[in-house]
Amino acid sequence: MTRIVDATVIITAPGRNYVTLKLTTEDGVVGWGDATLNGRELAVAAYLRDHLCPLLIGRDAHRIEDTWQYLYKGAYWRRGPVTMTAIAAVDVALWDIKGKIAGLPVYQLLGGAARDGVLVYGHASGHDVPSMLDDVARYLDLGYQAVRAQASVPGLEKTYGIPSDGQAVYEPAASARPQEDVWDTAPYLRFAPELLGAVRERFGFGFHLLHDVHHRLSPIEAARLGRDLEQHRLFWMEDPTPAEDQSAFRLIREHTTTPVAVGEVFNSIWDCQQLITERLIDYIRTSVSHSGGITHLRRIFALAELYGVRTGSHGAGDLSPVSLAAALHVDLSVPNFGIQEYMGHASPADEVFHTSYTFSQGSFHPGDAPGLGVEVDERAAAAFPYEPRYLPTNRRRDGSVHDW
Ligand code: EZ4
Ligand code: CO
């Protein structure tokens, strides 16, 4: 029995907003969990502070599964991004504590390394095709074996996923309201095959090429795009349609052999049960921090393994270094690992989050420090106060709200 004696929520914005849970045991062992939910940060912070932290005091830090069941089933109200991100933060912090007490990195507690490293893909982008190609070249020169390619759609003023020149983050600046972008599907559907074809034409087929559609198409449009992209041999086409409509993927599947990846917005195994058991996708993108922590993510990945679906966890910059470390421990240990997204973090983040994962030749290793291998400098965190920031929203040319 190792009692939890303190549970604190830290909100900091080194480059962007992050919410971090700190759990402390009676022996002074500290565990960290990422509770960041992009654009809804304070809702998770309140869920933790007001509802979960008081329940954790006095509980045995070693009883990870029991704590997960207690927080999930005990709430009566299940699932949803706020609840599952809060539970994830508790779960990840408890795995961190268990590893530190055992003197082992978390991946050893999960069964040990099933591979030598974790293949990651980087984010290449540009305001036009030539600048996007230069960015792909930059990633390949850095040793990446997998690259996601996005470029501004001609005729649209802004395209999500493309940073302003010199910026590490592509989302809008701090503001009390979300920015509104204009979306037009027809030019995108014409442009996307051209953009990905340009990458293959210049760099060939000796690396993995990925593309994110960001939920913007109807099923038949996604089927068309998948067909048009077949010749470019994508590693995956990500989030082709709004992800909550699981049966829509059957239609895409019937028309194309381009592999499909979905799940960065999912929070539980129930959100992807049909997609997995009916083999409607190739990669499941659920993440440690938005899908109930290591405990629940392992359950999703185990279900996926039964059906030949591989993992491809979300790893954008809004998932903190604590999340990335947790993801790498899981990725290293699961048999059906596919790939891990790696976008990196804006430079002030490394003043707050001290990490021990390492990158070499397109792969990461979580390191062998006990626990997750991430420590948070609370004093540094205090120097970066929260400011409201939102993901953009999307409207069609006629002013109506569009999926994104
Ligand atoms: O929109 O991380 O694949 N990555 C993505 C990201 C997500 C954000 C959501 O917070 O789609 O850019
Ligand atoms: Co995405």
- pLDDT given for residue 164 in this prediction: 79
Task: State in Å: Cα 317 to ligand 1 middle.
Answer: 8
User: Cβ(148) to ligand 1 under 6 A?
Assistant: no
160 is catalytic: yes
List the beta bridge partners of residue 19: 11
Express each pLDDT in 320-363 by its tens digit: 999 999 999 999 999 999 999 999 999 899 999 999 999 999 99
3-state SS track over the chain: CCEEEEEEEEEECCCCCEEEEEEEECCCCEEEEECCCCCCHHHHHHHHHHHHHHHHCCCECCCHHHHHHHHHHHCCCCCCHHHHHHHHHHHHHHHHHHHHHHCCEHHHHCCCCCCCCEEEEEEEEECCHHHHHHHHHHHHHCCCCEEEEEECCCCCCCCCCCCCCCCCCCCCCCCCCCCEEEECHHHHHHHHHHHHHHHHHHHCCCCEEEEECCCCCCHHHHHHHHHHHHHHCCCEEECCCCCCCCCHHHHHHHHCCCCEEECCCCCCHHHCHHHHHCCCCCEECCCCCCCCHHHHHHHHHHHHHHCCCEEEECCCCCCCHHHHHHHHHHHHHCCCEEEEECCCCCCCHHHHEEECCEEECCEEECCCCCECCEEECHHHHHCCCCCCCCCCEEEECCCCECCC
For the chain, state the CA radius of gyration: 20
Place of tokens 């992209």: 229
Express each pLDDT in 69-118 by its tens digit: 999 999 999 999 999 999 999 999 999 999 999 999 999 999 999 999 99
Q: Is the pLDDT of residue 166 over 90?
A: no
Cα–Cα nearest to 173, from 404, 392, 343: 392
Instruction: Please give the Cα distance from 24 to 399 (Å, whole number).
Output: 50
Express each pLDDT in 118-165 by its tens digit: 999 999 999 999 999 999 999 999 999 999 999 999 999 999 999 877
- pLDDT given for residue 33 in this prediction: 99
User: Cβ(214) to ligand 1 under 6 A?
Assistant: yes
Confidence of residue 59 (pLDDT cuts 50, 70, 90): very high
How confident is the prediction for the chain on average, in pLDDT? 97
**What dihedral angle (degrees, nearest 10) is formed by the CA atoms of 216, 218, 221, 225?**
50
Q: Is the pLDDT of residue 369 over 90?
A: yes
Instruction: Give this prediction's pTM.
Output: 0.98
Express each pLDDT in 289-319 by its tens digit: 999 999 999 999 999 999 999 999 999 999 9
User: Cβ(264) to ligand 1 under 6 A?
Assistant: yes
- pLDDT given for residue 265 in this prediction: 98
List the beta bridge partners of residue 32: 22
Cα–Cα nearest to 297, from 281, 286, 306, 308: 286
* Ligand 1 atom with the shortest distance to the CA of 161: 12
Task: State in Å: Cα 317 to ligand 2 middle.
Answer: 11
Q: Could you say which of 139, 160, 283, 342 is catalytic?
A: 160
Residue 121 near residue 210, CB atoms below 8 Å:
yes
Q: Atom 8 in ligand 1: which residue has the minimum CA distance?
A: 316
- Top mutation candidate among 36, 314, 319 for ligand 1, by most atoms within 8 Å of CB: 314
Percent of the chain residues topping a pLDDT of 70: 100
Express each pLDDT in 167-210 by its tens digit: 778 888 899 999 999 999 999 999 999 999 999 999 999 999 99
Q: How far apart are the first and last CA of the chain?
A: 46
- pLDDT given for residue 168 in this prediction: 74
- pLDDT given for residue 403 in this prediction: 95
Q: Which ligand is nearest to the CA of 121?
A: 1
- pLDDT given for residue 263 in this prediction: 98
- pLDDT given for residue 169 in this prediction: 80
User: Cβ(316) to ligand 1 under 6 A?
Assistant: yes
CA distances from 264 to 169, 191, 258, 313, 325 (A): 18, 24, 19, 7, 17
Task: State in Å: Cα 372 to ligand 1 middle.
Answer: 23
Q: Could you say which of 208, 211, 214, 290 is catalytic?
A: 214
What's the number of CA atoms in the CB half-sphere (13 Å) around residue 165? 3
Task: State in Å: Cα 60 to ligand 1 middle.
Answer: 35
Q: Atom 5 in ligand 1: which residue has the minimum CA distance?
A: 316
- Top mutation candidate among 214, 236, 340 for ligand 1, by most atoms within 8 Å of CB: 214
